[in-house]
């Protein structure tokens, strides 16, 4: 499994694999051609309310992460679709934020990597769970 993160304003590359826009709003001033996005999953982005509350205030980052993960737990079908795409090969989560450390794409990547690692962990009886 390979998940990369890239700002929407950075040039696409073949190494990106499937480019998934993980924003609720289309990045300002960016044409669809330049973005070269394969899939736009608005549904996995933070809610409008959460996005406005956070307002890229780094002091709110820990609480933003907690609230966003909670929102994602309430969207199992959308998260499952994203996991399916990740499971097929390299993907790049494309995001619009200027802050490369404190944005929803980083939370999404960390959560999926953790979930997928847990899915592959041995069960107590020695069997492994299938990802899904």
pLDDT tens digits, residue range 82-98? 999 999 989 999 999 99
Of 122 and 43, more confident: 43
Structure confidence at residue 115 (pLDDT):
76
Is 80 exceeded by the pLDDT of residue 4? yes
Give percent of the chain above pLDDT 70. Answer: 86
Strand 18-21 vs strand 3-7: parallel, antiparallel, or unpaired? unpaired
Mean of the per-residue pLDDT values of the chain: 90
The Cα–Cα gap between 37 and 93 comes to 10
Q: What is the pLDDT of residues 35-57, one digit of tens each?
A: 999 999 999 999 999 999 999 99
> Of 13, 110, 19, which Cα lies nearest the Cα of 62?
110
Give the 3-state secondary structure of residue 39. Answer: strand
> Which tokens go with 56?
């890229």
The Cα–Cα gap between 23 and 117 comes to 24
């Amino acid at each position: 499994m390979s998940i990369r993160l890239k700002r929407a304003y950075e040039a696409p590359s073949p190494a990106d694999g499937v480019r998934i826009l993980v924003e609720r709003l289309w990045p300002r001033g960016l044409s669809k051609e330049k973005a070269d996005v394969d899939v736009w999953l608005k549904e996995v982005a933070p809610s409008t309310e959460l996005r406005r509350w956070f307002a890229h205030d780094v002091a709110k980052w820990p609480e933003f992460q907690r609230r966003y993960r909670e929102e994602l737990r309430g969207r199992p079908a959308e998260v499952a679709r994203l996991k399916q795409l990740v499971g097929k090969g390299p993907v790049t989560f494309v995001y619009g934020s200027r802050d490369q450390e404190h944005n929803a794409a980083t939370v999404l990547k960390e959560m999926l990597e953790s979930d997928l690692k847990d899915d592959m962990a041995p069960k107590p009886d020695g069997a492994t769970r299938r990802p899904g």
